[in-house]
Chains A and B, each alone.
Chain A
Amino acid sequence: MPELNSVYRHREAGHVLTDVSSYRDAGGYAALAHAINERTPDEVLYAITRSGLRGRGGAGFPTGRKASFLPKDAQLAKYLVCNADESEPGTFKDREIMELNPHQLIEGMVIAAYAIGAERGYIYIRGEYEYQAQVLDAAITAAREAGYLGADVAGSGYALDLTLYRGAGAYICGEETGLLESLEGKRGQPRLKPPFPAVKGLWASPTLLNNVETLAAIPPIIEQGPDWYAAMGTEKSPGTKIFSVSGHVTKPGNYEVILGETTLRELIFDLAGGFREGRSFKACWVGGSSVPVLAEQHLDTPLDYESLMEAGTFLGSGGCIVMDDSGCIVRASLRLASFYRHESCGKCTPCREGTGWMENVLQRIADGDGRMEDLELMESLFGRIGGNCLCALADGAVAPISSAIKLFRDDFARAITNGGTERPEPMAPAVALTGGRAGA
C-alpha cells in the first residue's frame, strides 16, 4: 500500500513534533533556510509550480499557478492567508497537522510568503479548534524566538510575522472570500468573484489563500526538489494526499497516500479496516460531504483528481465518509441537507431557500409523508439552486442529494411507498473514549 508520510512528518518520526528542536531533528526548517537564503522568490515559486502541487482544501487548483496570479508590481501590501477553518463534514486532516506537526505549517507559510513577497501571514482557524489554536499559538511564538519569524527571518533580512485569528463557528468562513470578510471584521458572507483574492483580497490587497495541508506540503517539495514530488502519483495529480476516513469503518483515521496509486476499495478495506462482521459497503462520500455520493460499482476507482471526476465525484477535501449496508441513504441525505440549511449564510436566495426546501422534502420522505412526485420536485429544485449563487456552498449542498437520488432511487421510492424509514441501529465503536483537552 503506497502510504507515504510527507505532510505527516510526525508519523515518519514516530512522535509529535510540536517543539522547534524535535521538528528540526526530524529535518524541519532546512527547507526554509535553503529557500530564503539561497533561492530567489521567483525560484521558489517556480519550484512550487513545477511540483504540480494542487490545493488540498477542496478545489484542487494548481498552487503555483494561483500564486502566480498575484500582481508582481503591486504598490499595495501582499498577504498570505492560511485557511485552517476545517469544517467540511468528514474532514479532520488539518487538525492532525496543527496538533502534532504545527511547525511544518509555519515553515510552509514562511516559504510561500517569501515566494510572493508577503509582509504578513494570517492563519484563520475555526473556533471549535481552540485546543489546536493553543498548540499553534505556542509554535508560532517558539518559531519567532528561534528566528524563523520576525524582522530577520533566518538571518536573511526578510521580515515576516504570522497572526493567528480564531473564528467563532461558521462553515461559510471556510469559503475563501467569506473567510476574508470574517478576517476583516465583517459577517462572513462570500464576495462576488471576480475580482479574485489574488488581485483584490484582504483589505483589497493581493492575497494568496491556501489550505493547511497545501502549505504543509511545501517544505518537503523544497527539501527534496519539485521533481521528486512530481514523480509521485499521476501526471495531473502528483504527490501525496491525506484522506480522513470515518463512518462505519473499523479503523477510522487519517491516511496519507500517493495519489493515483491507491483505490477507494484499498483505502476503505485495507487502510481503514473495512466493516464489522457481516456488513458490506453501501455508499461513500469520498471528498467531504459536498461531493456526489459513490456506490459499490465505484470502489475500484483510483484516488486521484481525474479518476474520481470520471467516476462522477470530486476528490474534494479527502474527507471520506463511508456507510455500510446497515445505513439508510435517505436519512444520510437528510442529515447532509440539514447541515447545508444550517450553514447557508443567507446572502443568495436560491441557497437560503433551496437548502431549506431540500431538507423539508427529505424530512417528509423519511417521516413517511412523502409523495412519489417529491422525487421529481427535488430534481426540479437542483438546477435552480446550484450554479445560481455567489459561492460553492449551494453546489455542494445539491451534489450529495442529487447523486443519491440518481444512484439509489429505489431506496427513496421504497421510503415513500413504505411510509418512511426506520432509524437504523448505529455502529457502536469498539474503542475507548479518548480526548479530553488534547484532540490527539
Chain B
Amino acid sequence: MTADEIRDHLDPIRDQFAEERSLVLPALKFAQTEKGHVTREDMEAVAEAVNLSPAYVESIASFYDRIYTSPTGERIVSVCVSLSCMLNGSDELLEHLCASEGVPHEGNHAGGTSADGRITVQEAQCLGACDRAPCLQVDAEETMGPVSLDDADGQLQRLRSETAPRPMLR
C-alpha cells in the first residue's frame, strides 16, 4: 500500500487526535487490510504517512498480536485457548484443526498455515465469547461457538469454498 492511500484513509480522522502519532495504529490496521499482513514496504509507507521512522512503526507493529508482519493464510482461524474454552474442549478443537490443516501442534504451541495457503490456524487468548465455549474466530469479525469437531470441519469446508472478503480484517 502507498503512503498516499494511507494518507487518504487517515485524513477524515486526523483532527480527532491532538498528536499525529495516534494515527500509527489505525494506519497499520488499514495497511493490513490489503494483503492480510504488513510488509516492510507497508511499514515504510505508514511511517511516511504519519511522519514517524520505519523503525518506530515496526516497534508498534511487533507489539500487537493482531498486526501480522509475515504472510498468513487467506483466512485466519483463531481458537480461544483460555480457561473457559479449555474446560469445554478447546484443546481438542485446536488439535483437530491443526491435524486437518496439517500444521504443527507441539505441546503448548500450535498453529501455522496450510500447505495450500488458504487457512492459518492459531491460538488466541480469551475472545470474550466464553458463553459459547469452545469458540473460534474467523479473521476479526466472525466469532462463533460452541464449536464441535464436526462444526469445525464444516467451517473449514465453508472457508475453502469462499473467496476471502476484501478488505481483509484481521
Determine if A127 and B18 form an interchain contact, defined as CB atoms under 8 angstroms apart.
no
How far is A327 from B59 in the complex, measured between Cα atoms in Å? 40
Additional A-B contacts beyond A88-B126, A168-B66 (4; CB < 8 A): A129-B128, A165-B22, A185-B25, A246-B131
Determine if A439 and B129 form an interchain contact, defined as CB atoms under 8 angstroms apart.
yes
- CB-CB under 8 A from A71, the residues of chain B are none
Given contacts A185-B24, A342-B125, A433-B146, contact A169 B131 (CB under 8 A): no
Determine if A168 and B83 form an interchain contact, defined as CB atoms under 8 angstroms apart.
no
Determine if B144 and A127 form an interchain contact, defined as CB atoms under 8 angstroms apart.
no
Judge if A51 is at the interface, Cβ distance under 8 Å: no
Chain A interface residue count, CB cutoff 8 Å, equals 72
- CB-CB under 8 A from A165, the residues of chain B are 22, 25-26
Interface residues of B, Cβ cutoff 8 Å to A:
13, 16-26, 28-29, 50, 59-60, 63-67, 78, 81-84, 86-92, 108, 124-135, 137, 139-148, 151, 169-170
Determine if A429 and B144 form an interchain contact, defined as CB atoms under 8 angstroms apart.
no
In the complex formed, the residue of A with least CB distance to B131 is: A252
A-B contact count (CB 8 A): 197
How far is A168 from B91 in the complex, measured between Cα atoms in Å? 24
Can you report 15 residue pairs joining A to B where beta carbons are below 8 Å apart? Answer: A77-B18, A89-B84, A127-B64, A128-B137, A130-B139, A168-B29, A186-B21, A187-B60, A245-B131, A254-B131, A321-B83, A332-B86, A339-B126, A427-B87, A433-B146
Determine if B63 and A332 form an interchain contact, defined as CB atoms under 8 angstroms apart.
no
Q: CB within 8 A of A252: which of B16, B125, B130, B169?
A: B130
Q: Tell me the smallest distance from the CB of A377 to a CB of chain B, in Å.
A: 20
Judge if A244 is at the interface, Cβ distance under 8 Å: yes
Determine if B83 and A185 form an interchain contact, defined as CB atoms under 8 angstroms apart.
no
Determine if A128 and B63 form an interchain contact, defined as CB atoms under 8 angstroms apart.
no
Can you list, as one digit per residue, whether each of A317-344 has a CB less than 8 Å from chain B (1) or not (0)?
Answer: 0010101000100011001101100110
- CB-CB under 8 A from B91, the residues of chain A are 423, 426
Given contacts A169-B66, A252-B133, A426-B92, contact A363 B143 (CB under 8 A): no
Interface residues of A in 67-126 (CB under 8 A from B): 77, 86-92, 94-95, 120, 126
